[in-house]
Amino acid sequence: MEKKEILAQWHSLEKKWQNYWSEEKSFRATNPGDPDHDPQQKKFYCLDMFPYPSGQGLHVGHPLGYIASDIISRYKRMKNCNVLHPMGWDAFGLPAEQYAIQKGVHPSISTQENIQTFKRQLNSMGISYDWEREINSSSPEYLHWTQWIFLKLFENDLAYEDNADVNWCPELGTVLANDEIIDGKSERGGFPVIKKPMRQWMLKITAYAEKLLADLDDLDWPESTKEHQRNWIGKSVGAELSFQIKGHDEKINVFTTRADTLFGVSFLALAPEHPLLDELSTPEKKKEIETYKKLSAAKSDLQRGDLNKNKSGVFTGATALHPITGKEIPIWCADYVLMGYGSGAIMAVPAHDERDLEFAEKYSLEVLSVNDGEKIINSEHATLNINGQNISQAQKSVITFLENEKLGNAKTTYRLRDWIFSRQRYWGEAIPILHTENSTEKVAESELPLTLPEVKSYLPTGSGESPIAAVESWIQTTTTDGTPAKRESNTMPGSAASSWYFLRYMDPKNKTRFCSVEAEKYWGQVDLYIGGAEHAVGHLLYSRFWQKFLFDQGLVSHKEPFKKLIHQGMILAENGEKMSKRKGNVVNPDKVIEEYGADTLRIYEMFLGPIEKSKPWQTSNIEGSYRFLAKLWKLVISEDGQSLHENVVDADESQWPEKIKKLLHKSIHLIEKDIEKLSMNTAVSKLMILLNEATSAFERKIPKSFLSTYTLMLAPFAPHIAEEIWKLLGNEKSLVRENWPTHNPKFLQEDEIQLIIQVNGKLRDKILVSSDKSEDAIKELALNLEKIKAFTDGKEIKKVIYVKNKLVSIAV
Ligand code: ANZ
């Protein structure tokens, strides 16, 4: 058979099985209450991060995670689980809006087209989604509940308006969340981002800082992702204390994690946005400070903080008094101090803080050492003496002193900021809020979903208002009691819908609740969540927050949404570069399927290497995966592809060579373990070895009994070919819910085991013994070894210990 003919056969059977699965609803998950629901089955909820349906369609990088989660889903169905494996669309967002701006096409229309492409591509790979549960985050049925959850947050004072400094991207005409900014530039487009005070909706995620931190410990997530979240939450335990400003009534509050260094303070530094700055700076310094403030406003927090290698600042002309010694301390303004952290002011201790030292050296400020690395020095005054204490003792002493003198107190801060939840854009969920002259009120729940008005231009106004602000007929309304009101014109950010979509899949068509109580109870947590590591903070933190909030409201039954998480690596171009449209090095899965078949694509992507690793695509290596499947095909299927090959013979397991029985049972067991731990590359390799060994051991006469089991094992990986072989083997039903083969443990035992022989704890010999030997026989054997006798002859044997399958230890 030529490759061309094989592919023609494969392509037609791919279509056939894809249609069959779709018509038979083969991948349908059942909810309690469904007529065909089986309460005996275990549930398994396997979720892929839902994609943004971009105009480019899928590239070969997307399926890496999708294929892996599909393999485990198909496998779990064969293990008799009720598998929820859904897919949907994160359909709001900037690209569709930008496309609308350029082409004048309504975002919902271009998004619909893209969704069709994505769906066609996913189906062409045989991904086993339950399409009855498909969701689209921009649909009224879905956004209804996004808005509803927002209202719950609002009712619980977790959504509020604030005039805070925000990250404003003039180019995009919108504010951005911290996690949407990379190195001071917008993640999308790479445009400059500046600080600007604006009215925004905020979600009080900081109220959940401690829970978000504490509950990380129990999650089966990559340690690096948990660490990322811990750092993002950034808990710091320390103290807050105040310094009197000389000649003023006001005090400056600082936050420090090093209260023990209080005697080493040589200056105070205020963030340029600090509210006391204008008031305390002396007249001759005002101009310089104004200029400095403008300079810092153009920098991102990262440029000011972590990336800042050249610290700068301006002396305010004012001084403060040391709370213990009364010494005069200069007050500076420096932009390495961030307004959004602690109190926006620091006590600087150059001897023990690198940033402060850099600054002190630049501006010739005092550097006073107050510890020798272990013990406190130079820290004595009439009211407090901490010399000789260790650092943590000293911290406690200072904090106790401050608390007694009402100068300060212990304090814990978090780096985590509240979530800026409004966007001045068109294509997002309307925020269901009304503004009357004197109040801010929720839109009545009965008015949800609140859909967007049609607009002529999708362009942001640039003044910080969404284009919908101009649609008077939509904006002007009344409250339920008839008071004139204006609708909120800001929309929600992209990460709103993705913060709860995993709940909607549990009961996607529910019209009265985001999902029914029973469905949520039944599906509970996502058992396995697969998606990119770029979501390590943003999405994964926001969705944990919403889930925790819903949990506290008694609306869901688990406080964490995702039990186990895996990040798939990236597929790079052949030269190791990132695949990008701009570089023209994107490999399209449609083409790969066309040339090699869907199952080859699946096998190849899994065979590339560990799922978590990033790895280059190598078109030349696809041949290897193709040859594996083609070899099987030619071996067991007739030339015309319509029946089994005459090589396939009737012979039951008792007639197989012993070697193959062993290998098969071992492979069933090990592939099962591989799938469970998502080690798909090693599973594929075991399937390849098994086929090779069997082909030669059976001398190309493959018994049906072997082929049946092998086909079932292949099914999660190469489902189209497996279904076809299964059918030609004479089975009437699809193998989707056929049982995964069981292995016979008898065949797992190794024939021989290696044992270490020790005399008085020292290794003296190694032997191979047959695994069925008794303990006594093994001890006897060990004592009679020549090498051992050399150490035991003429001595009294005190003890012989046998540690099963490991060692014999002799004491003399
Ligand atoms: C005195 C001191 C002495 C400090 C010393 C450190 C070392 P983490 O651990 O990250 O929470 N700090 C406080 N507020 C700040 C702000 N708004 N912008 C920039 N820096 C700020 O860091 C806490 C430390 O960071 C605080 O403790 C303070 O400097 C500084 F040997 O106070 B420290």
769 pLDDT tier (thresholds 50, 70, 90): confident
What is d(CA 443, CA 435) in angstroms, rounded to the nearest whole number? 10
At 659 the pLDDT is 93
What is d(CA 686, CA 721) in angstroms, rounded to the nearest whole number? 18
Burial class of 283 by CB neighbour count within 10 A (0 to 12, 13 to 18, 19+) = exposed
What is d(CA 39, CA 36) in angstroms, rounded to the nearest whole number? 10
Mean pLDDT in the chain?
Answer: 94
**Ligand 1: residue whose CA is nearest its atom 18:** 337
Q: How far is the CA of 265 from the centre of ligand 1 (A)?
A: 12
Would you say the CB of residue 633 lies under 6 angstroms from ligand 1? Answer: no
Burial class of 431 by CB neighbour count within 10 A (0 to 12, 13 to 18, 19+) = buried
Ligand 1: which of 255, 273, 308 to mutate, most ligand atoms within 8 Å of CB?
A: 255
**Which pLDDT tens digit goes with each residue over 483-527?**
999 999 999 999 999 999 999 999 999 999 999 999 999 999 999
What is d(CA 283, CA 216) in angstroms, rounded to the nearest whole number? 51
310's CB contacts (< 8 A; 6+ apart) are none
What is d(CA 735, CA 726) in angstroms, rounded to the nearest whole number? 7
Give the phi and the psi of residue 697 in degrees, each rounded to 5.
-65, -35
Q: How far is the CA of 196 from the centre of ligand 1 (A)?
A: 25
166's CB contacts (< 8 A; 6+ apart) are 175, 195, 196, 197, 198, 200, 420
Task: Give the start-to-end residue ranges of the domains of the chain.
Answer: 236-414, 751-811
Nearest CA-CA partner of 421 in 336, 542, 327:
542
Residue with tokens 């059976």: 698
Would you say the CB of residue 256 lies under 6 angstroms from ligand 1? Answer: yes
**Ligand 1: residue whose CA is nearest its atom 8:** 236
- Mean pLDDT in residue range 355-367: 97
Q: Which is it for strands 345-348 and 185-186: parallel, antiparallel or unpaired?
A: unpaired
* Cα→Cα distances 317→265, 278, 289, 453, Å: 17, 11, 10, 54
Q: Are 671 and 688 in contact (CB under 8 A)?
A: no
Q: How far is the CA of 757 from the centre of ligand 1 (A)?
A: 58
Sequence letter at residue 724 = E
807's CB contacts (< 8 A; 6+ apart) are 755, 756, 757, 758
At 388 the pLDDT is 97
Would you say the CB of residue 258 lies under 6 angstroms from ligand 1? Answer: yes
**Which pLDDT tens digit goes with each residue over 304-339?**
887 788 999 999 999 999 999 999 999 999 999 999
Overall CATH class of domain 751-811? alpha beta
Q: Are 286 and 376 in contact (CB under 8 A)?
A: no
Q: How far is the CA of 256 from the centre of ligand 1 (A)?
A: 5
Q: Work out the end-to-end distance of the chain between its first and last CA atoms, rounded to an integer number of angstroms.
A: 70
**Which pLDDT tens digit goes with each residue over 558-587?**
999 999 999 999 999 988 898 887 888 888
Does pLDDT of 706 surpass 90?
yes
What is d(CA 735, CA 719) in angstroms, rounded to the nearest whole number? 9
Q: Are 602 and 67 in contact (CB under 8 A)?
A: yes
Residue with tokens 């410990």: 217
What is d(CA 780, CA 768) in angstroms, rounded to the nearest whole number? 14
Pinpoint the alpha helices (H) of 306-406. Answer: 354-362, 391-404
Does pLDDT of 197 surpass 80?
yes
Three-state secondary structure call for residue 345: strand
User: Between these two residues, 117 and 101, which has the higher pLDDT value?
Assistant: 117
DSSP state string for 742-775: PP-GGGTS-SEEEEEEEETTEEEEEEEEETT--H
Q: How far is the CA of 380 from the centre of ligand 1 (A)?
A: 23
**Which pLDDT tens digit goes with each residue over 641-680?**
999 999 999 998 999 999 999 999 999 999 999 999 999 9
Would you say the CB of residue 342 lies under 6 angstroms from ligand 1? Answer: yes
Superfamily of domain 236-414: Valyl/Leucyl/Isoleucyl-tRNA synthetase, editing domain (3.90.740.10)
User: Between these two residues, 810 and 182, which has the higher pLDDT value?
Assistant: 810
Instruction: Using the atom order of ligand 1, give the atom closest to the CA of residue 339.
Output: 17
**Which tokens in the block code for residue 787?**
């090498």
Three-state secondary structure call for residue 434: strand
Highest mean pLDDT among 106-110, 427-431, 789-793: 427-431
Q: Residues of the chain with pLDDT > 90: what percent? A: 82
- Mean pLDDT in residue range 71-86: 98
Would you say the CB of residue 352 lies under 6 angstroms from ligand 1? Answer: yes
Number of H helices, E strands in the chain: 25, 31
At 95 the pLDDT is 79
What is d(CA 515, CA 497) in angstroms, rounded to the nearest whole number? 14
Q: What is the pTM of this model?
A: 0.86
For 169, the enclosing helix (H) or strand (E) is strand 165-169
Nearest CA-CA partner of 178 in 431, 545, 537, 547:
537
∠ Cα 166 171 173 (to 5°):
55
**Which pLDDT tens digit goes with each residue over 476-493?**
999 999 999 999 999 999
Three-state secondary structure call for residue 671: helix
Question: What is the chain's Cα-based Rg?
Answer: 34
Would you say the CB of residue 344 lies under 6 angstroms from ligand 1? Answer: yes
Nearest CA-CA partner of 425 in 457, 397, 391, 400:
457
